[in-house]
Chains A and B, each alone.
Chain A
């Protein structure tokens, strides 16, 4: 029987094909790079929506520019590839947070919701994203470290050691933070009767 967790693993990890894809992308194959991008970008955006809400798409775009520039010199397996990608995104998010703290932006209070740009399929996209958006909102309610550890473990597909290196924590601290976050998430869903 194939569980939801198995489906999650299958959707986030490329697997044995990764080495060939990476080599082809480093050789200039757009198709290979497109495959890598389509595999990683949704997870990247979901991670950034929690740690840098409102700037997720900009940071993701900057991250890919950085990755494309360093793609030819990258060496490593899929785990290292994802660690590099999410580490780059995390650093961009931290830089943006520092920049915003130095230069606070003024709110566009003169622009109403009706004046904001919209597309014809906005409602459809909202319905499509509902469950994912709700899950991200639940994660965003957790303490920052717990939410980030769960996202990196589940969404990015990184192991405990990679997350520990990325967050500069010990593997034990990462494990404890993940368990606490999951327990808290279980408590929240049980108390609120959340159904996705």
Chain B
């Protein structure tokens, strides 16, 4: 369909875009054809009426309420909120760290961690050493250290680092050693030896050091030897005192027979001769 231009009406003034823009901007006098429109726009922007200003009281009341609520309340609320959030975060972090470390320590002392981690835990916090892996079914992983008998090698202490690892635990304590004289005063019945000798376990590490090279267990030999020494101090008959003979468990168990501090490695290699009563 052809675009046929409509003829301009005689009484209609020409309105250009510039006139419209000027009318909208409100800076110049309106063109002759736009004067009615200018009057309409002027009526739109006439002075406000009483009805249009009737809501001022309500707006001012809202402004007064907000202004009164903003000034004193906002800042403390923000700071306390930040403080409480920070406290919660710190508390949660501390709790999480405590749980992780505690769980890790428990797992390490339960000897259930993987071998590399267990070894790290052993070096860091003195957790039990991880058991050595043996491919032979007769030397399974469940074999406890020190209980493996003749073939039971101490997993880590039998190795090159055995003496280094045993050293921190070699310090004897009075409870572990027992007082040989006091044990003797108890008057243990002859022939029984001192059953309490088996309680002297604090020296197991030093014993382990010396036994590790010989491929025997650690703790058992030590406690046995302790019992033997107490029996001697109590003037027990020689025979029953041998119930705790460390030779049953380890070749160096006799090192404890003198009632010496069991963890003393120097004394353990020079056993005193047994005195016959």
Contacts and interface: CB of A to CB of B under 8 A. Distances in A.
Contacts of A128: 49-50
B276 interface: no
Interface string A161-196: 000000000000001001100110110011000111
Given A8-B45, A11-B45, A42-B48, A135 B40 contact: yes
A4 B52 contact: no
Interface string B7-18: 000001001010
A178 B20 contact: yes
A5 B27 CA distance: 6
A5 B33 contact: no
Given A5-B42, A42-B53, A131-B43, A189 B63 contact: no
Contacts of A132: 43-44, 46, 49
A186 B48 CA distance: 25
A190 B50 contact: no
B30 interface: yes
B28 to A, nearest CB: 7
Interface in A106-153: 125, 128-129, 131-132, 134-136, 138-139, 150-151, 153
B70 interface: yes
Interface residues of B, number: 45
A60 interface: yes
Contacts, number: 150
Interface residues on A, range: 35 or more
Contact of A30 (B39, B41, B55, B63): B63
Given A33-B63, A135-B44, 11 more contacts: A4-B39, A5-B27, A25-B63, A30-B67, A34-B60, A38-B48, A150-B24, A178-B24, A182-B23, A186-B36, A196-B43
A30 B34 contact: no
B70 A72 contact: yes
Given A28-B71, A125-B49, A155-B45, A38 B56 contact: yes
Interface string A30-65: 100110011001110110000000000100110011
